[in-house]
Every structure is written in C-alpha cells, then in structure tokens.
Amino acid sequence: MPQVETALGPIDVDDLGMCLMHEHIIIADWDMRSNYSDYVTIDAEIKKAITSLNAAKARGVSSIVDLTPINLGRDIHSIHAVSKATGVNVVCPTGFYWTEEPWMHGWDAEYLSKYMIRDITQGILDTGIKAGIIKCATDHTGVDEFNKKLLKAAALAHRETGAPISTHTTVANTSARDQVRSFLEFGVDMSRVVIGHLGDSTDIDYLEEILASGCFIGMDRFGLEAFLPTDDRVKTVATLCDKGYAGQMVVSHDACSFQDFFDGEYIEKFAPNWCYEHVPRDVLPALAAAGVSQDNIDTMMVRNPAKIFSSQGGY
C-alpha cells in the first residue's frame, strides 16, 4: 500500500479518508515573529486551531494538507502540535511563495530545489517530519522570469522525489495556463499536480482547458465569498461533475486558523464560513442538492487525495 508522509509520520494513503487538499494552520511572517515578541501569540493560536480542526473532524474530516510555503511562515512545530492534539492527519509542505524576496534572486532553480528535496527526503528542521507535497505559487505578476524559476525549482524537486505539486493561481490573469505550460516544459507528471484556486472561476471552457493537461484542479476557496459566492462555486463543481470531471477535482477552503494578512475581526465579519468545517457542513449537502452523486463526492473528497499521493517515487 502506498504511503504519504504526515506530521505524525507516514500513513497508508487509504487512511487519509476525507481530505481537505488546500488549507493552512498558521500563517505568520517569520521576520516579524523574530523581531517582535508580541506579533503573534502562537500558543493561543494553536489552541484555536485545535478547536477549529476538531470541529471539522466531528463532521468527518480525517486529513488536511497544509500548503503554507517556507517563506510564508511555515511553522512545522505548530503543525505537529495541532495534528497531535486533534488526531487529524496533516500533510506538510515544502516550496516557495511567489513573492520576489531579494535573497532569491541570486540563486538558480537547482540551488532552491535542494532545500525542498531535503525537506522531502530527510525532514524539516530537526523534527524528522518529512514534507509530503510541494507548494508553488503564481499571483498578479503571472509567470514572469522570476516566477518561472520558482516553478522550475518545484519541478526539479518533484522529478527528484516524486512528490506531488499543488499551486496557487489567480483567475484574473489566467496564470494556470502558464503554470501548465511551464510544468510540461520542465517534465512534470501532470497527473501529480493540483492547479489551485480554479474554483474562483465559472468559465467552464477555461477550466476544461486546464483539465485537458491531465492535472487535478482545486475547487478550494469555499467560504471566500468576496472572490465568488458559494452558490456559484457549487454550480461550477456540479457542472464539471456532469461533464465527467469528478476524478480530477479536489474540494477545500484555503482557510487559515490564523493568518496575518487581515485582522481577525474582518475575517469573521466578511468571511464567516471561511473555516475547515464549511465544506462538510454546508458545501457537500449543497453539492448533493445540486445533483452531484455521493460517488462523485467520495471521489473528490476521498479517492482523489489518495490517488494524488499514491505514486510517489523518483523518476
């Protein structure tokens, strides 16, 4: 039986169960944390994350994939603490965010990839916890020269280790197209890739174009109503299921128990359903009401995550 690495060690892929494939536990900038002791109270945020994840667990969630990149505040000790306290499997990430940080410019893709490879093959810091997935991101700048270097670094780590890739995209510049082109250029196995945040789009032709590459797509921002209302997201997933694409979709939130992008009160006011339990509590019943079969729901929530992590191994 193929296995996947988690914060609590390797498990059989079939033990992932219902899996939210694009989430975050804690996002907090390390520079700010290192310089200001009151920037975030991690112990308090860990307790909040435990409560939030237990609420999702009570509704059937067995596993989540934390996709916080190295340079966006990945905190392996907090991830481990939350997973241990809840018993929810957490697949841990490696990879770099799209932000053009000065130190990155002096290094080529090969140099950057070696850190990801180390995370996957040896473990993160001194924890022995191995990364199970590679995160990479393209935002408003699109796949420019710098970003393409980061995509290449992710591709090199993927080819060396066999670990799957999951991405961040923006619908506004249809950057998923260029991500796919870049990954094909760099020899990535597209059946091991999740192109993320495509649930922000209702353009079925665009989504089918990306699906034609053989990748999975992330319908993974449920609860972020400002980007697209839930009803529209549900309709898009249902339409793609009708067209036979359930086997290439995963459903999630891109939620964070804590993140330092916005004030917490702002999130509670404008995105009250942006939490780990929204999908099992609200979205899955809505999909069923829209005509999506239980078999297709199980495919997106259980079988596809297991499939994504089933083929690990070098090339």
53 Ramachandran zone, left/alpha/beta (phi>0; psi -120 to 50): alpha
The pLDDT value recorded for residue 311 is 75
Backbone φ and ψ of 29, nearest 5°? -60, 130
For 146, 166, 299, 311, the CA distances from 2, given in Å and listed in that order, are 35, 19, 18, 7
The pLDDT value recorded for residue 1 is 84
Instruction: Dig out the tokens for 194 from the structure.
Output: 């999740």
Below-50 pLDDT ranges, the chain: 313-315
Please count the CA atoms within 13 angstroms of the CA of 177 that sit on its side-chain side. 9
What the chain holds in terms of domains, given with CATH numbers, is 3-308 (3.20.20.140)
Backbone φ and ψ of 147, nearest 5°? -65, -35
Rounded distance, CA 221 to CA 286, Å? Answer: 15
Angle of CA points 259, 262, 266, to nearest 5°: 115
223 Ramachandran zone, left/alpha/beta (phi>0; psi -120 to 50): left
The pLDDT value recorded for residue 237 is 98
The pLDDT value recorded for residue 268 is 79
Rounded distance, CA 143 to CA 149, Å? Answer: 9
* Cβ pair 10, 54 in contact under 8 A: no
In which order are the strands placed within the sheet that holds 256-259?
89-91, 61-66, 18-27, 256-259
Strand pairing of 93-94 and 256-259?
unpaired
The pLDDT value recorded for residue 315 is 39
pTM across the whole model: 0.96
* Cβ pair 133, 163 in contact under 8 A: yes
In which order are the strands placed within the sheet that holds 249-251?
93-94, 133-137, 165-168, 193-195, 216-219, 249-251
The pLDDT value recorded for residue 262 is 81
